[in-house]
Amino acid sequence: MPILYSLQHCPYAMRARTALIKANQQVLIRAIKLDNKPNEMLLASPKGSVPVLVLTKNETGAAVVLEESLEIMLWALRQDDPDNLLRREDPQALPWMTSFITEFEHTFIPLFDAYSCAKRYHNDNLQECREACEEYVSSLEARLSKHPYLFSENESLVDIALFPFMRKFAKVDKQRFRQSPYPNLRKWLNDYLQSSLFSMVMQQHELWLDNRKDCYLARNRAI
């Protein structure tokens, strides 16, 4: 059975768990701390970051290891995609979505990291960093003013890939976000945060190294 090494509040791990749950995949989850990583995880993925999904051995006898959250999401949804998040009927949709997600990671996440750091350490460039983030956030608000989800009228891979990061952005300055001119983005995000899906994604698991007891990741049957 596949084994997922995961960190509770890491947005990359959160979106991997979201896709696995959406895809109804039966997976063992091993919760970790970054300052005490299991040797089993490091043997599978020496780079030591999460999420890591270790699949059952292939025909050559070697374990298949997925080390990137987007890679895990795509693997899961290719097994089962009941909500059509990959838009299989449109051959151009998936390349566009993966390109959009990659551009988001290369553009917004560095800006967000700078903003979060400036807020935490009361840096003089806080406003500059926030405005740089908000320029990108405004583009998401513009998308959501046209349809309920980022890609179209229906939920897609893009939505579940981005919402954990928007959650972190909103938490940097909660009061400001509540008053910000992003009503559509707030609704979109709140719909995720108040959903039964999010409760499943954020289900607490004991640290695996405390007792080496494997737990099952929640599945999507009840959603």
CATH of the domain at 188: 1.20.1050.10
Q: Which helix or strand (DSSP H or E) is residue 74 part of?
A: helix 69-79
Residue range(s) defining the domain that contains residue 210 = 3-85+198-222
> For position 194, what pLDDT does the model report?
98
Looking from the CA of 51 toward its CB, the CA atoms found within 13 Å total 31
Can you give the pTM of this predicted structure? Answer: 0.94
Give the sheet arrangement for strand 3-6, strand by strand: 63-66, 52-57, 3-6, 28-31, 215-216
Together in a domain, 64 and 98? no
Where the chain has pLDDT below 70, the residues are 57-59, 61, 220-223
Q: Count the domains in the chain.
A: 2
Residues 179, 203: one domain? Answer: no
Same domain for 73 and 9: yes
Q: Determine the Cα–Cα distance for residues 130 and 133; give it in Å rounded to an integer.
A: 5
Q: Looking at residue 222, what is its pLDDT?
A: 45
pLDDT at position 223 is: 43
The pLDDT assigned to 58 comes to 65
